[in-house]
Amino acid sequence: MLNHNHSLLPRSRGGPKSERKPPAPVFILSSRTIASFSNIILLKNRVKAAVRQAVYDTICLKCTGGPLIERRAAKRFQVDWQIRVEGNNSSHGTFVESGVVRNISSSGALLSLSHALPAGTQLDVYIQLPLKGEAWMKYPARVVRADLDVAGVTAAVRFDSARPDFGTPLVP
């Protein structure tokens, strides 16, 4: 529709000619340009995915929410095996305790126990293998840290040797 001055430009409603808005610029893109933009977007998404994967592979999020750098040298395996722990420390004297190993690697394990053990305590950790019969692996170990949680005490231990001995623990 033509306005009063026979111009093809639309007039804004109720305003003078000075308030006219010019038409939006029109860009004509070739299929080659569109393909280039598509390739850039795909490349950008691939880079983002690669960065996310690298961050995921190197950072461990603890349940408290803080990012931690994964420092373990050996892969951990989630297990639920019965253990017996024997040790000697200044506060408990000689002790024997039952518990559960939550995860294990060739260099250490995470144990669930009923009593807290101070860091540095030397232990003999007997792990009952899920086989027929009474098969126990014995690892000499040292407590690295102990945390109190809802289920009791979790103690992280580092094995003195990657090779276990086989023996039978004392009865608690």
Question: How high is the mean pLDDT of the chain?
Answer: 75
pLDDT on residue 139: 92
**Is 100 within 8 Å of 112 (Cβ atoms)?**
yes
Q: Counting Cβ atoms within 10 Å, is residue 42 exposed (0-12), middle (13-18) or buried (19+)?
A: exposed
**Is 78 within 8 Å of 61 (Cβ atoms)?**
no
In which residue ranges of the chain is CATH 2.40.10.220 found? 77-166
Distance (Å, whole) CA 86 – CA 168: 11
Q: Which of 127, 147, 145, 146 has the alpha carbon at shortest distance from 137?
A: 127
The helix (H) or strand (E) run that includes residue 45 is helix 31-58
Query: Which tens digits make up the pLDDT trace of 110-148?
Result: 999 988 888 899 999 999 888 777 788 899 999 999 888
68 compared with 28, residue with greater pLDDT: 28
* Sign of the four-CA dihedral 115, 146, 102, 152: positive
Count of residues making up the chain:
172
Q: Answer whether residue 91 shows pLDDT above 60.
A: yes
Reduced to 3 states (helix: H, G, I; strand: E, B; else coil), residue 48 is helix
pLDDT on residue 140: 93
Q: Answer whether residue 5 shows pLDDT above 60.
A: no
CATH number, span 77-166: 2.40.10.220
Distance (Å, whole) CA 81 – CA 102: 7
Pairing of strands 136-149, 165-166: antiparallel
